[in-house]
Chains A and B, each alone.
Chain A
Amino acid sequence: MVKKKFIILLILFNSVFGNCYSENEPFSKLENDIAKNLRCLICQGQSIYDSNSEFALSMRVYIKDQINSGYSESQIYKILVKKYGQWIVYDPGYSKKTFLLWVIPILFFLLGGAIIYIRIYKKKKT
């Protein structure tokens, strides 16, 4: 009885967990770093590194293949952005669309500095 239950559970496990890459080689640091910077399309809050979905597991193998065929980290990001859109990378990059994203915080910083400078050095009006 217990054994039967366990078999059912194993089937459940199988439907929950993925059919993984079959290579026995451990993943390199570069592969892990790239996986951390990619967002999973199936579990959309997680990175490829964190996710266990089929897509994420295939993506890891894909990353490995690309590295082995000589592509650099940034080239791999470019290839994937071309296929899946900017959404897939966690780095929004510099473009017209993300101009304000980078500039607004810097403006805040400059403005804050200016206000403090004025408060300290500007003589009171009489």
Chain B
Amino acid sequence: MEAHLQFLVKKKITLSFLIIAFLVFCFLILNKALNKDKTYSPTFQNQKVTYLPDFNLPELFSSNEIQLSEIVKDRDFSLINIWASWCVPCREENDLLKNLSNISSLQNIGINYKDKKKNSINFLNNYGNPFKYNLVDYNGTQSINLGAYGVPETFLINKNRKILLKIIGPINNDHIRKIKEITNG
């Protein structure tokens, strides 16, 4: 009887210890979760998609179909920027993109996202045209094909369409520095 009781007490102590350990674990996890960024952005993971898929899109002015794999051959690096005339950050980004078009090994390719032709041409006239090619994604499906989710969004790729850099949201000076490092090096 005595031994049995002792066994029960021991069992109770072990169980309590386990429960407390579990509670402490939960507390630590939740505490850490509090300071984590809750919004999801596909860049943090998904390292598997390293190549941009090839696609055809019409050109803005001429409406001729242009194939991505054809035009990326021209230079060592291509910067693909998804933009729209109705997108406010795209206006601020425009100057930085013009700045980048001076790099000889790099070409800028613009993808006009869900826009009206008139508005986008006006935009390029007013703010300047930093792009060598202006492609049009009228219904936004090609951008989804690229794994993008809004404007502005930018990819830096090489000749083989390997993604070297992916920028969600407007480009800043840090990104410019990175792009210059990659393209000059």
User: Do A and B share a direct contact in the complex (Cβ within 8 angstroms)?
Assistant: yes
What residues of chain A lie closer than 8 Å to B149, measured between beta carbons?
A: 41-42, 55, 84
Q: Which residues of B40-67 have CB atoms within 8 Å of chain A's CB atoms?
A: 40, 42, 45-46, 48-49
Q: Which residues of A21-69 have CB atoms within 8 Å of chain B's CB atoms?
A: 21-22, 41-42, 44, 54-55, 57-59, 61-62, 65
Residue of B at shortest CB range from A79? B145
- The verdict on A44 contacting B86 (CB below 8 Å), with A54-B140, A55-B149 known, is no
Interface residues of B (CB under 8 A from A): 39-40, 42, 45-46, 48-49, 86, 113-115, 139-141, 143-145, 147, 149-150
18 A-B pairs whose Cβ atoms sit less than 8 Å apart in the complex: A19-B114, A19-B115, A21-B139, A41-B42, A41-B149, A44-B39, A55-B140, A57-B140, A58-B114, A58-B144, A61-B139, A61-B141, A62-B140, A83-B46, A83-B49, A83-B144, A85-B40, A85-B42
What residues of chain A lie closer than 8 Å to B49, measured between beta carbons?
A: 82-83
Residue A98 at the chain B interface, CB threshold 8 Å: no
- The verdict on A62 contacting B145 (CB below 8 Å), with A15-B86, A19-B114, A21-B139 known, is yes
Please measure, in the bound complex, the distance between the C-alpha atom of A22 and the C-alpha atom of B39, giving whole angstroms. 30
What residues of chain B lie closer than 8 Å to A19, measured between beta carbons?
A: 114-115
Residue A87 at the chain B interface, CB threshold 8 Å: yes
Please measure, in the bound complex, the distance between the C-alpha atom of A78 and the C-alpha atom of B149, giving whole angstroms. 17
- The verdict on A87 contacting B40 (CB below 8 Å), with A19-B114, A54-B150, A58-B140 known, is yes
What residues of chain B lie closer than 8 Å to A82, measured between beta carbons?
A: 48-49
Interface extent on A, as a size class? 20 to 34
Least Cβ–Cβ distance between B69 and chain A, in angstroms: 19
Interface residues of A (CB under 8 A from B): 15, 18-19, 21-22, 41-42, 44, 54-55, 57-59, 61-62, 65, 82-85, 87
What residues of chain B lie closer than 8 Å to A42, measured between beta carbons?
A: 149-150
A58 x B143 contact (CB < 8 A): yes
Most buried by A among B42, B139, B147: B139
Nearest first, the 9 closest Cβ-Cβ pairs linking A and B are A58-B140, A83-B147, A62-B141, A41-B149, A62-B144, A85-B46, A84-B42, A19-B114, A61-B139
Residue of A at shortest CB range from B43? A85
Please measure, in the bound complex, the distance between the C-alpha atom of A15 and the C-alpha atom of B145, giving whole angstroms. 25
Please measure, in the bound complex, the distance between the C-alpha atom of A117 and the C-alpha atom of B65, giving whole angstroms. 71
Residue of A at shortest CB range from B168? A41
Given contacts A41-B40, A58-B139, A58-B140, 15 further A-B contacts (CB under 8 A): A41-B150, A44-B39, A55-B144, A61-B139, A61-B140, A61-B141, A62-B140, A62-B145, A82-B48, A82-B49, A83-B46, A83-B147, A84-B147, A84-B149, A85-B45
